[in-house]
Amino acid sequence: MNYETAIQSIALCKDYKNTKALRDINLEVRKGEIFGLLGHNGAGKTTFLKILVGLTYPSSGEIKIFGEKINFKSRRYFGFLPERVSIPSFLTPLEFLKYSYRLHDFVPKKIYPEIEETLIKVGLENFKKEKVAGFSKGMLQRLGLAQCLLGSPSILLLDEPGSGLDPEGLISFRNIILEENQKRQATIFLNSHRLLEMEKICHRIGILQRGNLVAVGSIEELTKEKNQIHIKLESINQNILELLKKISQHFYFINETEIVLEPRDSTVVREIPKLLIEEGGNILFYSKKKESLEEIFLRITRGEND
Ligand SMILES: Nc1ncnc2c1ncn2[C@@H]1O[C@H](COP(=O)(O)OP(=O)(O)O)[C@@H](O)[C@H]1O
Ligand SMILES: [Mg+2]
């Protein structure tokens, strides 16, 4: 093991009255990585985060932070962006962040420069003295992120960070998360059902299904090569078309010169470039198709995990 573990859950279970929200979760999040927990609504993602920050307790099992069983002091490691950001409507961003900062264990004397910097980072500097009562969902989300970043915590816990954000907001959140990770090696743990967002930034992902952790790994590790080939040719003549019909089970055109084909017989795969060239084809691109995160997620959560 050549990495340090930031978060470790051991046989973690959480039962609500009639619901097994988490079942026997064994998960390690490495220091300095961006880890994403994926799952449908109700899969147990928020419950996992709530246990981490001490908003609820496990029914059995435990969680360790940097090797230490969680306790009330563990909160010093965390910045937390909850699923629904809720801020008293009479406060301004400046007041809210000052108030939040005072709740920290250790409050540096000069908190103002950091608060100002954070407001600039999340794009709220022009609204810092306006009451949050009139804020949009996206602006509240930005203020929630600002609170989460205060004090540069070692671990950022983000519950559905993209919710309520427009495309520009999503890009700026993504850049902030990447910067925190790359510049100061913050560990990022985020929950989401937005697959595209996760695919762009996560080093590793876990998939939760009805309280069970059904897969963990990097996207490369979870990807299966599909039995499909993507080919781009300079042009496609009649002979090539005949060849494609002969060698493929199915094929379809992406445009006039690009095709995706599923070979009739896997032994022919290695021969395809040679056969195309023999028919006068000039190959510009040739690649085996890989699954997208969406395809991985659907395959695993449908139980077709062969
Ligand atoms: N306080 C609670 N009391 C009872 N059931 C709850 C409570 N919180 C969550 N649950 C249930 O636990 C399951 C997991 O919920 P949650 O962790 O919020 O899922 P997710 O964040 O993945 O959408 C759901 O079935 C939900 O209804
Ligand atoms: Mg949730």
pLDDT for the residue numbered 105:
64
Instruction: Give the percent of the chain with pLDDT over 90.
Output: 71
Q: Whose alpha carbon is nearest atom 6 of ligand 1?
A: 16
Output the pTM of the full model: 0.85
Whether 257 shows a pLDDT value over 60: the answer reads: yes
pLDDT (0 to 100) of residue 303: 62
CA 45 – CA 171 distance, rounded (Å): 23
Kindly tell me if the per-residue pLDDT of 301 is higher than 80. Answer: yes
Q: Is the pLDDT of residue 51 over 80?
A: yes
Query: Between the CA of residue 32 and those of 20, 66, 109, 181, what are the distances in Å?
Result: 31, 12, 28, 7
Q: Is the CB of 39 under 6 A from ligand 1?
A: yes
The whole-number average pLDDT for the span 99-122 is 82
- Residue 60 tokens read as 């059995």
Q: Which two tokens stand for residue 51?
A: 């246990």
How much is the average pLDDT of 239-266?
90
Q: Please report the pLDDT score of residue 305 as a whole number.
A: 47
Rounded to the nearest angstrom, the distance between the alpha carbon of 212 and the centre of ligand 1 is 13
pLDDT score recorded for residue 293: 86
pLDDT of residue 240: 94
Task: State the ligand closest to the CA atom of 37.
Answer: 1
Handedness of CA 146, 147, 148, 151 (dihedral sign): positive
List of domains in the chain: 5-218 (3.40.50.300), 225-290 (3.30.70)
Task: Please give the Cα distance from 297 to 293 (Å, whole number).
Answer: 6
What mean pLDDT do residues 148-162 have? Answer: 95
Q: How far is the CA of 231 from the centre of ligand 1 (A)?
A: 46
Of residues 220 and 20, more confidently modeled = 20
Q: What is the pLDDT of residue 78?
A: 94
Q: Quick one: tokens of 260?
A: 């995706």
Give yes or no for a contact between 240 and 280, defined as CB atoms under 8 angstroms apart.
yes
Decide whether any atom of ligand 1 lies within 6 Å of the 192 Cβ.
no
Mean pLDDT, residues 208-223 taken together? 93
DSSP symbols for 18-39: S-EEEEEEEEEEETT-EEEEE-
Among all ligands shown, which has an atom nearest to the Cα of 23? 1
| Cα dihedral across residues 80, 84, 88, 94: positive or negative | positive
Q: How far is the CA of 44 from the centre of ligand 2 (A)?
A: 7
Q: Residue with the nearest Cα to atom 18 of ligand 1?
A: 46
Find the largest Cα–Cα distance for the chain: 77
**Ligand 1, residues 9, 47, 49, 51: which to mutate, most atoms within 8 A of Cβ?**
47
**pLDDT one-digit tens code per residue, 120-152:** 999 999 999 999 999 999 999 999 999 999 999
Determine whether the shortest distance from the Cβ of 186 to ligand 1 is under 6 A.
Answer: no
Tell me the percentage of the chain whose pLDDT exceeds 70. 96
> 16 in ligand 1 pocket by Cβ < 6 Å?
yes
Banded pLDDT at 55 (limits 50, 70, 90): very high
Q: Is residue 306 scored above 50 in pLDDT? A: no
Distance CA 169, CA 175 (A): 10
How far away, in angstroms, is 124 Cα from ligand 2 center? 26
Ligand 1 contact, 74 CB (< 6 A): no
**pLDDT of 64-86, one tens digit each?**
999 999 988 888 899 999 999 99
